Amino acid sequence: MNKKIISCLIIGFILCSSLNAQTTQEGNKGTASDSTFVFHYPPCIQMFKADYKSNRQTLQLLKKRLQTFSKGKDTLYVNGYSGECENDSRNQRTAFHRCINLKGYLINYYGLRERDFKTVNTPHNHPDLGDIVVISYSSLPPLKQMEEDVSKSLPAEKEQKTEEITLVIVEKETEHPETLVNGQEQAKQEVVVEEKTVTEIPLQREVVGTESETQPTTAASPRTQNARTAYRWYAGIELGMPLGVSTFTSFASAGKTGFEGGVLGGYRISPLLSVEAGISLGSMRLGSSECCSDYWLGADGVRYLEHVAGMDSYSYRDIHSSVSVQQYALRLNVELLQIVRPDWDKRWSLTVSPAIYGIGTQATLKENGTKTTLVKRDGRFQFGAGAAIGGSYQVTGNLGIGLHSGVIWVFGERFDGITPTDHKENMIWNNTVTLIWRFGSNK
What pLDDT score does 275 carry?
Answer: 96
Window from 46-50, 317-321, 396-400, 420-424 with minimum mean pLDDT: 420-424
pLDDT (average), residues 421-425: 82
- 21 has pLDDT over 90: no
List the one residue out of 433, 434, 440 whose CA is nearest residue 398: 440
> In which band, very low, low, confident or very high, does the pLDDT at 47 lie, cut at 50, 70 and 90?
confident
Window from 5-9, 100-104, 417-421, 437-441 with minimum mean pLDDT: 5-9
> In which band, very low, low, confident or very high, does the pLDDT at 434 lie, cut at 50, 70 and 90?
very high
What pLDDT score does 294 carry?
Answer: 85
- 50 has pLDDT over 90: no
pLDDT tens figures, 388-400? 999 999 998 889 9
pLDDT tens figures, 103-143? 988 888 888 888 888 998 888 888 888 889 999 887 655 44
Cα 125 from chain centre: 27
- 99 has pLDDT over 70: yes
416 close to 380: Cβ distance less than 8 angstroms? no
Q: What is the C-alpha to C-alpha distance for residues 440 and 75, in angstroms, rounded to an integer?
A: 23
pLDDT (average), residues 248-254: 91
What pLDDT score does 313 carry?
Answer: 87
SS3 for the chain, per residue?
A: CHHHHHHHHHHHHHHHHHHHHHHHHHHHHHHHHCCEEEEECCCCCCCCCCCCCCHHHHHHHHHHHHHHCCCCCCCEEEEEECCCCCCHHHHHHHHHHHHHHHHHHHHHHHCCCHHHEEEEEECCCECCCECEEEEECCCCCCHHHHHHHHHHHHHHHHHHHHHHHHHHHHHCCCCCHHHHHHHHHHHHHHHHHHHHHHHHHHHHHHHHHHHHHHCCCCCCCCCCCCHHHCCCEEEEEEEECCEEECCEECCCCCCEEEEEEEEEEEEECCCCEEEEEEEEEEEEEEEECHHHCCCEEECCCCEECCCCCCCCEEEHHHEEEEEEEEEEEEEEEEEHHHHHCCCCCCCEEEEEEEEEEEEEEEEEEEECCCCCEEEECCCEEEEEEEEEEEEEEECCCCEEEEEEEEEEEECCCCCCCCCCCCCCCCEEEEEEEEEEEEECCCC
Give the Cα-Cα-Cα angle 406, 408, 411 (nearest 5 degrees).
170
What pLDDT score does 358 carry?
Answer: 97
List the one residue out of 113, 112, 130, 133 whose CA is nearest residue 121: 133
Give the Cα-Cα-Cα angle 9, 15, 16 (nearest 5 degrees).
85
- 357 has pLDDT over 90: yes
Give the Cα-Cα-Cα angle 108, 209, 443 (nearest 5 degrees).
20
pLDDT tens figures, 79-91? 999 988 988 888 9
What pLDDT score does 12 carry?
Answer: 55
Among 52-61, 216-225, 274-283, 332-341, the range with the most confident prediction by mean pLDDT is: 274-283
Window from 133-147, 198-212, 303-317, 338-352 with minimum mean pLDDT: 198-212
Among 26-40, 43-57, 166-180, the range with the most confident prediction by mean pLDDT is: 43-57
- 273 has pLDDT over 70: yes
pLDDT tens figures, 167-226? 333 333 344 444 434 444 444 444 333 433 333 334 333 333 433 343 444 444 444 344
320 close to 366: Cβ distance less than 8 angstroms? yes
What pLDDT score does 10 carry?
Answer: 57
- 22 has pLDDT over 80: no
Mean pLDDT of the residues in the chain: 77
pLDDT tens figures, 144-171? 444 444 444 444 444 444 444 333 333 3
16 vs 241, which has greater pLDDT?
241
pLDDT (average), residues 382-408: 95
